[in-house]
Amino acid sequence: MPDSKPKPGEMPTDSLMEQMVQETMLNFAAAVNASDFSTFYSKISRVWQKQVTKEKMEATFKPFSNSGIDLTVLKGHAPAFTEKPYISGEGILFIKGVYGTEPSKTAFTLKYFLEKAAWKLVGINIKMK
């Protein structure tokens, strides 16, 4: 039976990346709606956790929480990658894409780092267009 654990420098499949994006975006949506990033924070990489506290993360994303935007509408929509995902020389997986939601599209850039044989979030940027 082949080893299914990802290896450093090995690209995940498109299917896995779509699943990672969907999970990340829905976890982020739940955090925004609840104005509580505890669960979201617990799922990010330890590398990122060393750089930012949960409180700092909540403060950074407060404009999303205060705006009334409900990103849970992304459930059931598939993300479309707008650029070919790639792994940087530092081992960071970059995934850029968009959800074709209406009236505004939801664009994202997500960064993941391979940590203990699992891709963990190390950066997120979301824009409503």
Where residue 72 sits, what CATH number does that domain have? 3.10.450
Give pLDDT, residue 87.
94
C-alpha closest to that of 20 among 89, 87, 95, 91: 95
User: What average pLDDT score do residues 63-82 get?
Assistant: 86
Quick check: 55 pLDDT over 70?
yes
In a domain, 18, yes or no: yes
Closest residue by Cα to residue 119 from 3, 23, 2, 51: 23
Predicted pLDDT at 38: 94
pLDDT-derived band at 6, boundaries 50, 70, 90: low
Instruction: Determine, yes or no, domain membership for 4.
Output: no
Domain with 44, as residue range(s), is 14-128
For 3, 9, 40, the CA distances from 26, given in Å and listed in that order, are: 29, 26, 10
Residue 108 domain-assigned (yes or no): yes
